[in-house]
């Protein structure tokens, strides 16, 4: 039960991006959160409306003023680039706000790793929690600053952590994560890679061995190394992670099913499909992660398929799910 005054006043910085607009859609139907102020990016200098959200939310998106945003808000969602979040987040904390950050600015605990992969960020503030909801609920409830996971790590870790925590991964197993995301995962700023003509009718791998979501996964897996290769596919939204592992010798198929059933028995947004392999179309525009698998008991090889909507469970939806926990609400509120 929350002790916060209701409704909870919500601020949103970065409202014009894909994740920011998705958050507005979700917040508009939330019974305890009210969107008190929405701002553009730090570079935006004019007030604007969002035509796609007419009659969903008819407020103005105003230029970012941290003091005004803090004064209007109890909790602020940051849908900004990591350099901006690294600056704005601590200032909001100092002003007494709680913060849910969707960038990578605060995800990595190791200072050296953070300096390498997110060089525009600085030291971690106190009270940071990593927001993989199904595994970090206790820390999330107490968090002053919530660092929302990346979309690729969300799908991959939900596939891997039940196996690791059940002791089913072979000792020397280094998971191979072959993942494919829709183009909205690259953000709204246009680049050659996200141009329609570059994506239509094609699939492109990128960032092999050098993607900044890799250390995030390794951190969550307690240091276990992974091979991660992301791909861009010609979809507007949706993400699939095909996770390949070897299990301890003698593992039975029933043990795999028990590991996932036990991990997600009370998780409202993880649907375990077993040996029926899930598809991206099953989860788009929802906060669900669907997980299924194929297992070769003779060799101990397991392929886990994990699918999410990269803008919902991989960004805005998981952020709202976490904010629900932070304020003592049912984590499903505003998401079903």
The structure tokens 């008991």 sit at 297
Query: What pLDDT sits at residue 210?
Result: 87
Whether 1 shows a pLDDT value over 60: the answer reads no
Please provide the average confidence, as pLDDT, over all residues in the chain.
Answer: 93
Rounded to 5 degrees, what angle do the CA atoms 84, 188, 36 make?
60
Whether 260 shows a pLDDT value over 60: the answer reads yes
What tokens appear for 233 in the block? 């596919």
pLDDT digits (tens, 9 = 90+) for 99-158: 999 999 999 999 999 999 998 888 888 889 999 999 999 999 999 999 999 999 999 999
What tokens appear for 48 in the block? 């604007």
Catalytic (active-site) positions = 151
pLDDT digits (tens, 9 = 90+) for 45-90: 788 888 888 889 989 999 999 999 999 999 999 999 999 999 999 9
What tokens appear for 21 in the block? 């607009």
Residue 2 pLDDT grade (very low, low, confident, very high; cuts 50, 70, 90): low
> What structural domains and CATH numbers belong to the chain?
8-149+314-326 (3.40.50.720), 151-309 (3.30.360.10)
- Secondary structure in 3-state letters for the chain: CCCCCCCEEEEEECCCCHHHHHHHHHHCCCCCEEEEEEECCCCCCCCECCHHHCCCCCCCEECCCHHHHHHHCCEEEECCCHHHHHHHHHHHHHCCCEEEECCCCCCCCCHHHHHHHCCCCCCCCCCEEECCCCCCHHHHHHCCEEECCCHHHHHHHHHHHHHHHCCCECCCCCCEEEEEECHHHHCCCCCCCCCHHHHCCCCEECCCCCCCHHHHHHHHCCCCCCEEEEEECCCCCCEEEEEEEEECCCCCHHHHHHHHHHHCCCCCCEEEEECCCCCHHHCCCCCCEEEEEEEECCCCEEEEEEEECCCHHHHHHHHHHHHHHHCCCCCCCCCC
């Amino acid at each position: 039960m929350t002790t916060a005054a209701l409704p909870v006043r919500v601020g949103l910085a970065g409202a014009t991006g894909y994740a920011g607009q998705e958050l507005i859609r979700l917040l508009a139907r939330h019974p305890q959160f009210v969107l008190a102020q929405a701002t553009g990016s730090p570079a935006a200098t004019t007030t604007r409306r969002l035509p796609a959200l007419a009659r969903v939310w008819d407020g103005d998106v105003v230029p970012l003023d941290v003091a005004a945003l803090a004064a209007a808000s109890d909790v602020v969602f940051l849908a900004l680039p990591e350099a901006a979040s690294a600056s704005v987040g601590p200032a909001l904390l100092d002003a007494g706000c709680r913060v849910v950050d969707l960038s990578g600015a605060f995800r990595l605990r190791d200072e050296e790793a953070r300096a390498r992969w997110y060089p525009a960020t600085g030291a971690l503030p106190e009270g940071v929690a990593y927001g993989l909801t199904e595994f970090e609920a206790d820390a999330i409830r107490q968090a002053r600053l919530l660092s929302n996971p990346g979309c690729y790590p969300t799908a991959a870790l939900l596939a891997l952590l039940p196996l690791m925590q059940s002791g089913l991964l072979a000792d020397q197993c280094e998971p191979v994560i072959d993942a494919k995301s829709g183009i909205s995962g690259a953000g709204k700023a246009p680049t050659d890679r996200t141009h329609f003509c570059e994506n239509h009718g094609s699939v492109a791998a990128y960032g092999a061995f050098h993607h900044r979501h890799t250390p995030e996964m390794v951190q969550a897996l307690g240091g276990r190394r992974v091979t991660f290769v992301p791909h861009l596919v010609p979809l507007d939204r949706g993400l699939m992670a095909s996770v390949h592992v070897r299990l301890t010798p003698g593992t039975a198929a029933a043990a795999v099913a028990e590991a996932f059933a036990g991990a997600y028995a009370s998780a409202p947004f993880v649907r375990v499909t077993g040996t029926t392999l899930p598809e991206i179309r099953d989860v788009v525009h929802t906060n669900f992660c669907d997980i299924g698998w194929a297992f070769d008991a003779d060799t101990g090889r397991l392929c886990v398929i994990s699918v999410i909507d990269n803008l919902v469970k991989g960004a805005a939806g998981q952020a709202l799910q976490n904010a629900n926990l932070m304020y003592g609400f049912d984590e499903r509120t505003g998401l079903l």
